[in-house]
Amino acid sequence: MAPEPRGSSTDEPEITDQSFLDANAQAKAHYGRFNLAVVGGTGVGKSSLVNAVFGRDLAKVGKGLPVTRGVHYFQDNSLGIWDFEGFEIGSRETPAEILRRNLHTISERPANEQVSVVWYCVLSQLPRLTPPDIDMIKELDAAGLPVILVLTKVDWSKNPVTGKRSAPDDVEEFRAWLEDPVDENGASIDIPIQRVILTSTSGKHGKGKGHGLGELVTETLALSPENEKDAFRIAQRLNLPWKREMARPVIAAAASAAAAAAAIPVPVADAAILAPIQLTMIGRISAIYDLELKTMLSAGALAQMGVQITGQALARSFLKLIPGAGSVIGAGVAFALTSATGEGWLRLSEQVHTGKLDIDKIEKSWGQYVPTFFDVVRKMTENRLTK
């Protein structure tokens, strides 16, 4: 015998933006921050590289903090950048000594500012590593920091038959040497580089998305500390599947919580009890996609969004179409509504994250991502099949 629905409430709970804001803040605190050190002289392409991978101009990442001469710290939500400037010729200190001093300064900073991975940038048009470069790489390694040597501004050529891209011969020869360095006498040289990655941040004639960046992102993640991998997945903007992999368990957990809340069927009038669960889910997904909805939407707009894309409004519209659903929401419908809402918000987040949806127009656009009747039915079917 089916359980009796709960009694209908005369006073519907007020939907506010607080569930979203609390969940968003907690998720950000949980995921933390990924800190990258970028070493290289002026003109090597550091800013372009950071912008291509993280969607942020190095000079405009939060507020630059001139911690000490020769190194600046830029922080923006999930990302921190330590920018090591080029080292001047004629200084009383060697580049390695300056770097050692700067690393000591960084070591005294808070834990959430400590370097995770280093990109040591070398201009591919000048494919050589000087003795000071080698000394600095050794200093970084001695500090326990994994170093990726990034050859920048590679002028790729494309095979017209295979479509495969290749770097100029001298750059390929330089990469081969870096992977097995020897001196002029053929004796091995110790250069503690973890990876060598060839990159360009734009295609030929300045168009396109460049090349080698996906490999750079993959290797950076592989070298990141385990407890900072998720922060890196959030900060980077090239690999959307990583973010989906993080978001889908959040959706599944929220859907299960909604189903539990409706284990005893609730009248449509009480469907607003699902809103906090769904707004919490949305807040966590927004953190994964590094979205600042608090600055993009007013508190009133966030609350109105909660009313329209969660709980009661959806239930009223869908229950009319679902045969035999009646006027109450059961666990299956609650699960499907929440799951479909999460998928819709995931799609919206990706559009904003990739720049395909202008954040200034989000208030007028998010209605397009409200789950449809067919989305909900599909989620109900999928849920039944997995049981």
Q: How confident is the model at residue 64 (pLDDT cuts 50, 70, 90)?
A: very low
pLDDT for the residue 249: 97
First-last CA distance in the chain: 21
- pTM here is 0.83
Task: Give dist(CA 34, CA 57) in Å, integer.
Answer: 16
CB burial readout 142-152, b (16+ within 10 A) else e: ebebbbbbbbb
Q: How confident is the model at residue 10 (pLDDT cuts 50, 70, 90)?
A: very low
Q: Domain 32-235 in CATH: superfamily?
A: P-loop containing nucleotide triphosphate hydrolases (3.40.50.300)
Task: Give dist(CA 233, CA 217) in Å, integer.
Answer: 9
332-370 pLDDT, tens digit per residue, is 888 888 888 898 889 888 888 887 877 666 666 666 766
Q: How confident is the model at residue 9 (pLDDT cuts 50, 70, 90)?
A: very low
In this structure, are residues 23 and 284 in contact, taking their beta carbons and an 8 Å threshold? yes
In this structure, are residues 117 and 39 in contact, taking their beta carbons and an 8 Å threshold? no
Structure tokens at 19: 């569930």
Question: Lowest mean pLDDT: which of 19-28, 140-149, 265-274?
Answer: 265-274
195-234 pLDDT, tens digit per residue, is 999 999 875 444 446 789 999 999 999 999 999 999 999 9
Domains of the chain by residue range: 18-27+240-386, 32-235
Query: Could you give phi then psi for residue 368, rounded to 5 degrees?
Result: -70, -15
Separation in Å, CA 131 to CA 57, 183, 304: 30, 11, 61
Question: Lowest mean pLDDT: which of 52-56, 235-239, 269-273?
Answer: 269-273
**What's the chain's average pLDDT?**
80
User: Going by C-beta distance under 8 Å and a sequence separation of 6 or more, which residues neighbour residue 323?
Assistant: none
Query: Could you give phi then psi for residue 75, rounded to 5 degrees?
Result: -135, 135
pLDDT for the residue 260: 92
In this structure, are residues 102 and 68 in contact, taking their beta carbons and an 8 Å threshold? yes
Residue 321 has pLDDT above 60, yes or no: no
From the DSSP assignment, how many helices (H) and strands (E) are in the chain?
A: 15, 11
181-191 pLDDT, tens digit per residue, is 998 888 999 99
280-299 pLDDT, tens digit per residue, is 998 899 999 988 766 666 65
107-165 pLDDT, tens digit per residue, is 999 999 999 999 999 999 888 899 999 999 999 999 999 999 999 999 988 888 777 88
